[in-house]
Structure 1
Amino acid sequence: MTNLEKKTVKTWFNMKAFVLAGLSLCAVTIGAAAYVGHGDNSETYIGEATYEKLISAKGDIRVPKNFRTDYVMLGSWSVAGDADTGGEVGLHIVYSTREAVDAYRKTGEFPDGTIIVKELFSGHTEFLTTGEATRADKLAGYFVMIKDGKGRFAENPLWGEGWGWAFFGADNTEKTQSTNYQEDCMACHEPARKTDFIYTDAYPVLKK
């Protein structure tokens, strides 16, 4: 190989190394941006991370931080005579993580560690130029469900049927008001047993 040929080969390898280094830097930068985009207080967990970060060793559930901005909105409900809003019209807005949504769209099942958050609002109804309309008004509370495919907390009355269940008042996102999922939650969710106790027909984002 001539000196010219050796220089050409060396130049080619140097250029290749430079390009690969640039691509690696871009990948790291994009990944970091995606993480930072959720914010430092993001709690978009799935799998074991949910149990390590959001659930106590005894199975105590709390409301995840920043779910309004970091989670995907699955859908909403208008509920007449809502028990949580003193018999007034209630609006329920339901969220879950992007990871859980993507997994459900692929498999038709919620993976272990899925977090579902429902915000409950009283409704404010008024007549606008478009007609009678109801919007979310005062926050009434939160309802949180955590998918448990392993039966981790068999002795805890807030866990069963493959889920953890907890309702929180609007003023306390750390301590649930629920005491027993069978008494507090199943009356509403039993009709959705065939779809893993989630009313999936109400959530268009879960459909392909």
Structure 2
Amino acid sequence: MKQSDSKRHKTQYLRKVASFAFVGYVALNTLAYAADSSPALFNVNNELLQPKDYREWVYVGTPVTPNDMNDGKAIVPEFHNIYINPEGFAHWKKTGEFPDGTMVVKELLSVGAKKALTGNGYFMGEFTGLEAAVKDSKRFPDEPGNWAYFMFGMEYPLARKAAPKPTAECNSCHEANAKDDWVFTQYYPVLQAAKPKE
């Protein structure tokens, strides 16, 4: 092999290595955890990626405010299945506080049937939407309580990423009405029961 051919092959090899390294660098910087042990993944635009496997997290409750009980004009007429990441729940159970990295997912379902073998009631229908809240003091230092709120849509297929909602749209309501650290623990018996007694 001629020396010039050897140099050319070496140059091509180094370019490939550099290319793979660059791709790896971009991939690592495109997906970054919100905080240690947090399941929240963000892209470089600070958009939250749709969470995975949240139904395997700790289920804390299902509020429902149906239209039937609100003159047909309920603000949120769906069932809301609420899940919290296991690490956030474990810290809450131990300290009564939600740590950085806590992620709460709200899965929305329509009111389906109103009759069952057991009697009349409100029974879950179809999945209709997905929302999430993430606590991260480094990523959201200016948000009240360091919580940011995200909506992936109110119909399927859902968006695969979501930008933080404006503070006035979600955060301010939680700040004014949630019982503990911007979380509506008063509606979630599992969280109430797990909170350490003072």
What TM-score bracket applies, with the shorter chain setting the length? Answer: 0.5 to 0.7
Deviation at 1:154, TM superposition (A): 5.2
Deviation at 1:160, TM superposition (A): 4.5
Cα shift readout 1:136-180 (whole Å, capped 9, x = no counterpart): 212221110001133x2458xxx5531121011132242327642
Distance 2:158 2:94 in 1: 35
Query: In the alignment, does 2:142 pair up with 1:163?
Result: no
Shift in CA distance, 79/99, structure 1 to aligned 2, threshold 3 Å: same
1:118 alignment partner, one of 106, 110, 118 = 106
Shift in CA distance, 178/122, structure 1 to aligned 2, threshold 3 Å: farther
Where does the alignment leave 5 or more consecutive residues of structure 2 unmatched?
Answer: 1-32
Deviation at 1:135, TM superposition (A): 1.7
Would the aligned equivalents of 1:59 and 1:153 in 2 still touch at CA under 8 Å?
no
Q: Which residue of 1 aligns with 2:166?
A: 180
Where does the alignment leave 5 or more consecutive residues of structure 1 unmatched?
Answer: 1-44
Structure with the bigger percentage of helix: 1
Deviation at 1:187, TM superposition (A): 5.8
Q: Which residue of 2 aligns with 1:204?
A: 189
Distance 2:35 2:165 in 1: 25
Shift in CA distance, 54/177, structure 1 to aligned 2, threshold 3 Å: closer
User: Aligned pairs, how many?
Assistant: 154
TM-score, normalising length from structure 2?
0.66
Shift in CA distance, 120/205, structure 1 to aligned 2, threshold 3 Å: same
Distance 2:171 2:140 in 1: 17
1:33-182 equivalent positions in 2, closer than 5 A: 47-50=35-38, 54-68=41-55, 70-81=56-67, 89-150=77-138, 152-153=139-140, 159-169=143-153, 170-176=156-162, 179-182=165-168
Distance 1:180 1:118 in 2: 18
Would the aligned equivalents of 2:47 and 2:164 in 1 still touch at CA under 8 Å?
no
TM-score, normalising length from structure 1?
0.63
